[in-house]
């Protein structure tokens, strides 16, 4: 059975079983099903990681690097949307695995290009907005652009910059953590979008009272909390492995690069499934 991920009937989602089953053990399911998609099509995984490597290297080239950076962001969103829809629309694990096995790289690249670009542009706008707020707060706490640009040994000026940075960073950090908390719901809304405009608008449901109300559900809070703990634990392990790899002469840097690309791909697979589990929890009225 080959699942047409583009033709998901969102009104009939309640009749699918995979997402319902995943909610019984959401953290374990997100990790297992994300890795399952990757493991079911290793050629696709290798080609996708290769694409990430090429785009990363191209970012070092002036002008072309800007295009590569945009392409990387849009491609990452396209993959998240594809895998998220494949999971959310699957009636069972067999259909989900079959979709993974039959997915070519061009589907990752082109199937959801429009909503992926809309989502990327929306998140960029949010990021720019946060940077503007940081600069305003930095200025309000006594900082200045000149102070940031100039390298100085003046101790008083350095202390002033640290105070201004600290004062600006605390509220920004709190906002960032809040964004992370509701990100799965927002990304879920992006995933079920079909057009550039729908995906772009979905990003700004970040500020919707309805989204925040839904994020207050006990099941949602529990899932996000324990999933966050799991990801943090895995990240600590990843950092330890990276430090060990760097001890290998000559090959260390190469191995770390390959390791990172592999982890980026695995993370995208896992977070794609996790977003849709969270979305299903939030909108299960």
pLDDT, tens only, 63-79: 888 899 999 999 999 99
- Of 90, 86, 83, 102, give the one whose Cα is nearest residue 40: 102
Per-residue pLDDT, averaged over 10-22, amounts to: 67
Beta carbons within 10 angstroms of residue 28's beta carbon: 13
**Which residues 6+ apart lie within 8 Å of 38 measured at CB?**
45, 100, 265, 266, 269
Q: Is the pLDDT of residue 140 over 80?
A: no
Domain ranges of the chain: 5-282
pLDDT in tens, 38-95: 999 999 999 998 888 888 888 888 888 889 999 999 999 999 999 999 999 999 999 9
- CA-to-CA separations, 246 to 67, 108, 236, in angstroms, rounded: 30, 32, 16
Whole-model pTM? Answer: 0.84
What mean pLDDT is reported for the chain? Answer: 84
Answer whether residue 172 shows pLDDT above 80: no
């Amino acid at each position: 059975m080959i699942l047409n991920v583009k033709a998901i009937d969102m009104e009939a989602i309640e009749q699918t079983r995979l997402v319902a089953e995943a909610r019984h053990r959401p953290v374990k399911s997100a990790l297992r099903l994300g890795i399952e998609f990757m493991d079911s099509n290793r050629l696709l995984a290798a080609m996708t990681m290769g694409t990430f490597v090429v785009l990363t290297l191209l970012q070092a080239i002036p002008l072309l690097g800007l295009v590569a950076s945009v392409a990387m962001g849009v491609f990452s969103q396209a993959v998240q949307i594809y895998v998220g829809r494949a999971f959310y629309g699957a009636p069972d694990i067999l259909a989900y695995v079959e979709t993974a096995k039959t997915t070519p790289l061009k589907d990752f690249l082109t199937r959801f290009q429009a909503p992926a670009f809309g989502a990327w542009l929306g998140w960029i706008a949010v990021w720019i907005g946060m940077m503007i707020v940081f600069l305003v707060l930095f200025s309000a706490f006594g900082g200045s652009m000149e102070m940031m640009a100039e390298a100085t040994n003046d101790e008083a000026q350095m202390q002033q910059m640290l105070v201004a940075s600290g004062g600006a960073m605390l509220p920004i950090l709190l906002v960032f953590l809040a964004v992370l908390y509701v990100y799965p719901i927002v990304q879920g809304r992006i995933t079920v979008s079909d057009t550039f405009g729908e995906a772009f608008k979905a990003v700004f449901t970040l500020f919707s009272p309805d989204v925040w109300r839904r994020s207050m559900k006990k099941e949602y809070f529990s899932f996000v909390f324990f999933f966050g703990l799991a990801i943090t634990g895995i990240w600590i392990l990843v950092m330890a492995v990276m430090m060990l790899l760097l001890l290998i002469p000559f090959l260390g840097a190469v191995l770390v690069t390959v390791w990172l690309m592999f982890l980026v791909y695995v993370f995208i697979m896992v977070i794609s499934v996790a977003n849709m589990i969270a979305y299903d929890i939030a909108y299960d009225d």
